[in-house]
């Protein structure tokens, strides 16, 4: 077994700001605590919350490292007490509350999952954050059922490409919005029955046309702002909107009369602050329902680009340009 070094290369945020504030540095290798495993990181996913943290607007939960990064894939090289079934040498992907932009990261054992099928490390690192987020929000919080219709905003994002695939494979109809004809084409290939280029078409009108005037049952929204009032118009009676981000702003003025008349539910959540036990429950649900579909190649993460760990700033620049389709991954 390879000896674990005392220090590791990682990325730190030297001060709030643009991508240029990400800096390569050396830090001590963490030790796995009770219920944790230590992972030698082979790939780490890049997510929008990482950019928000870098800007100074999304601090890590208390006790969590300030190193960014919420998902990794790699090999377990050490285990703490009560680490469940995991042992040294196991290959896993894992959701972490921080620390993914590094050569090593300590992860709660219950938030680790075996890599499904024949996926490589790059693809596996693109699973946890988006799949945990989509599952808990779309299927648990919003309760999307087979036969219902889901509207996914930002369909070409990592979250969007994941939601389209899972929902369509589980028997729901999917409508999505995206910012170009090419992105719309990819969304349709992934399983969306209707893809709306929001720069050229009003998604509310498209939803009404697609559903025969009824509206959609569930909306996964990461835009916020003025989309909220439009989402209310697009929802069917007893519809549910779940908000996971606010790219268009976190404040909006709405008329609550249609909310009451249509018996709508407006909800939202953030994944990072959830208790470890709750994240473990989500992991087990994914393991049971979604991981077999990945293993059978019915679903796959969409990888847009990879960057060396030291080029994390370039990865953030690409993320914030919104020119990507799917996921961006760092390779330590």
> What's the length of the chain?
332
The total of other beta-carbon atoms located within 10 Å of residue 231's CB is: 27
pLDDT at site 267: 95
**How much is the pLDDT for 72?**
98
The predicted model scores a pTM of: 0.96
Could you confirm whether domain 7-127+302-331 is CATH 1.10.10.10?
A: no
The C-alpha R_g of the chain, in whole angstroms, comes to 20
What's the pLDDT score for residue 2?
A: 64
At the top level of CATH, which class does the domain 131-268 belong to?
Answer: alpha beta
Look at residue 1 in the predicted model and tell me its pLDDT. 54
> Are domains 7-127+302-331 and 131-268 of this chain identical in fold?
no
CA 233 to centroid of chain Cα atoms = 26
- Of 269, 219, 224, nearest to 246 by C-alpha is 224
Q: How many Cβ atoms are within 10 Å of 274's Cβ, its own excluded?
A: 18
Residue ranges of domains in the chain: 7-127+302-331, 131-268
Q: How far apart are CA 281 and CA 51, in angstroms?
A: 27
Are residues 302 and 326 in contact, defined by beta-carbon separation less than 8 angstroms? yes
- pLDDT of res. 248: 83
Residues 162-209: tens digit of each pLDDT: 999 999 999 999 999 999 999 999 999 999 999 999 999 999 999 999
Residue found by looking up tokens 């939803």 in the block: 207
**Secondary structure of residue 177 in the 3-state scheme:** strand
Q: How far apart are CA 191 and CA 73, in angstroms?
A: 26
Q: Which pLDDT belongs to residue 247?
A: 83
- The DSSP secondary-structure symbol of 145 reads -
Least Cα distance to 238 among 104, 143, 96, 122 occurs for 143
Q: For residue 31, what pLDDT is reported?
A: 96
Those residues of the chain that have pLDDT short of 70 are 1-2
CA 94 to chain CA mean position, Å = 12
Q: What is the pLDDT of residue 126?
A: 98
């Amino acid at each position: 077994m390879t000896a674990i070094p005392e220090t590791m290369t990682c990325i730190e945020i030297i001060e709030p700001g643009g991508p240029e504030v990400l800096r390569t540095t050396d830090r001590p290798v963490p030790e796995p605590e009770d219920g944790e495993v230590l992972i030698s990181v082979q790939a780490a996913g890049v997510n929008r919350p990482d950019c928000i943290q870098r800007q100074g607007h999304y601090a890590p939960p208390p006790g969590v490292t300030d190193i960014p990064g919420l998902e990794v894939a790699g090999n377990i090289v050490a285990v703490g007490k009560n680490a469940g079934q995991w042992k040294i040498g196991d290959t896993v992907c894992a959701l972490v509350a921080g620390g993914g932009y590094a050569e090593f990261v300590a992860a709660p054992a219950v938030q680790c999952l075996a890599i499904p099928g024949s996926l490589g490390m790059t693809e596996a690192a693109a699973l946890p954050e988006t799949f945990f987020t989509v599952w808990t929000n779309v299927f648990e919080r919003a309760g999307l059922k087979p036969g219902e219709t889901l509207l996914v905003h930002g369909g070409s994002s990592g979250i969007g490409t994941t939601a389209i695939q899972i929902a369509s494979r589980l028997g729901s109809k999917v409508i999505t919005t995206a910012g170009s004809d090419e992105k719309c084409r990819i969304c349709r290939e992934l399983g969306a029955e209707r893809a709306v280029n929001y720069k050229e078409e009003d998604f509310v009108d498209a939803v009404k046309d697609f559903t025969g005037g009824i509206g959609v049952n569930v909306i996964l929204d990461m835009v916020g702002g003025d989309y909220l009032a439009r989402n209310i118009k697009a929802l069917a009676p007893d519809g549910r909107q779940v908000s996971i981000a606010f790219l268009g702003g976190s404040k909006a003025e709405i008329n609550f009369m249609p909310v009451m008349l249509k018996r709508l539910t407006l909800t939202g959540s953030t994944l990072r602050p959830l208790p470890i036990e709750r994240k473990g429950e989500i992991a087990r649900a994914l393991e049971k329902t979604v991981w077999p579909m990945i293993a059978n190649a019915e679903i796959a993460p969409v990888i847009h680009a990879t960057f060396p760990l030291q080029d994390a700033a370039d990865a953030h620049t690409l993320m914030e340009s919104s020119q990507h389709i799917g996921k961006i991954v760092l390779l330590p």
